[in-house]
């Protein structure tokens, strides 16, 4: 990432409350990963596995832990000692994420805005955005090109809605939310009555989706609206790309889930859950607070205790890994069993 204006190592050290080892006047133009950092770049070192990259790096400035003594700076190189180089590096990223500051107080002439919609004066409405009737857009919210909001959609303040997002009617989105490109919020839940002749009758999906504050939703993720009532995403939830959340699901606050998770209808996920990639969760069950589900786990019934789980059906992680280890020994055990069968038959005439 390139700074808009170069910064001296002294400026950066002051921002991070760090201690400089080396020159204070060297200028930094970019932030970069340690493997690729070059002259003029700032990077960080936080893991001994990357020591080889640090020893070879020509980065002008490196964030290192307090008391770092594994290497000395090269000539012209600067170390800044901080308590946590990893977090300090991301602090710089956050402070210099200025791209979206250019979007404010604008409505593109190609945008279509239906009647009785209220848009804050500080909001940004991009090209070819379509906004239905009776919508509300809050202060400093950015809606980027080709996004569609159906009727009665409410979006709070300081939100960032990327291109090609679709929010179906009656969707409610809180403050400080980010929704990435291609996400669909409020699409029909998968609800059908199977008839005796094998055909299906569609069940109307008349509810909505309610998203709390400080939520982030990844690209091409889909969240279905409720049959009645609401599909609820509580405050602080972080959802990766390509996640499917079915109708009437409730996701507890500060839960995070990785890509390709699928949650079936009417399931309630507790607070502070951590759900890894490709986990599948059945419908009409509950998962307790503070549960971690390892990748590719399949959850067919409720989990009532916090903990780390793995498998299909999931078990506590330690138990699940013991079972896996035992399963890996089955070929050898089968060979031993067959050997014993032959001995019993040849020596004692016992056939089992």
Please give the positions annotated as active site: 247
Q: State how far the alpha carbon of 272 is from the alpha carbons of 222, 254, 351, in Å.
A: 21, 5, 56
Q: Who's near 267: CB < 8 A, 6+ residues apart?
A: 246, 249, 250, 281, 282, 283, 284, 285, 286, 287
- Tokens in use for 282? 């059945």
Residue 176: strand, helix, or coil: coil
What is d(CA 293, CA 308) in angstroms, rounded to the nearest whole number?
Answer: 6
Which DSSP helix (H) or strand (E) runs through 323? helix 317-328
Beta bridge partners of 214: none
3-class SS of residue 115: coil
Dihedral of the CA atoms 318, 322, 328, 331 (nearest 10)?
Answer: -160
């Amino acid at each position: 990432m390139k700074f808009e204006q170069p910064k001296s190592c002294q400026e950066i050290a002051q921002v991070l409350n760090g201690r400089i080892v080396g020159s204070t006047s060297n200028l930094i133009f970019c932030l970069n990963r340690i493997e690729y950092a070059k002259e003029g770049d700032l990077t960080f070192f936080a893991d001994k596995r990357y020591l080889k990259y640090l020893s070879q790096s020509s980065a002008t400035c490196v964030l290192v832990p307090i008391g770092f003594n594994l290497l000395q700076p090269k000539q012209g190189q600067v170390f800044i000692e901080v308590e946590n180089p990893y977090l300090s590096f991301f602090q710089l990223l956050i402070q210099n994420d200025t791209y979206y500051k250019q979007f404010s107080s604008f409505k593109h002439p190609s945008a279509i805005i239906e009647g009785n919609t209220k848009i804050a004066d500080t909001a940004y409405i991009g090209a070819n955005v379509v906004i239905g009737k009776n919508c509300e857009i809050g202060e400093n919210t950015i809606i980027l090109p080709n996004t569609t909001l159906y009727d009665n959609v409410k979006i709070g303040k300081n939100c960032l809605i990327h291109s090609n997002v679709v929010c179906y009617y009656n969707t409610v989105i809180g403050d400080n939310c980010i929704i990435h490109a291609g996400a669909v919020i409020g699409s029909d839940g998968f609800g059908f009555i199977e008839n005796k002749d094998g055909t299906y009758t569609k069940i109307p999906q008349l509810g909505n989706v309610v998203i709390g504050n400080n939520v982030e939703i990844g690209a091409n993720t889909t969240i279905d609206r409720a049959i009645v009532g609401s599909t609820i995403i509580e405050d602080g939830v972080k959802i990766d790309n390509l996640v499917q959340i079915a109708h009437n699901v409730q996701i507890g606050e500060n839960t995070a889930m990785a890509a390709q998770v699928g949650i079936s209808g009417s399931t309630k996920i507790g607070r502070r859950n951590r759900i890894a990639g490709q986990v599948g969760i059945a419908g009409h069950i509950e998962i307790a607070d503070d549960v971690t589900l390892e990748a590719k786990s399949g959850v067919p019934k409720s989990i009532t205790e916090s903990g780390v789980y793995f498998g299909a059906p999931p078990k506590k992680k330690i138990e699940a890994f013991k079972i896996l280890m035992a399963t890996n020994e089955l070929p050898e055990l089968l060979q031993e069993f067959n050997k014993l069968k032959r001995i019993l038959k040849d020596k004692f005439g016992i056939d089992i």
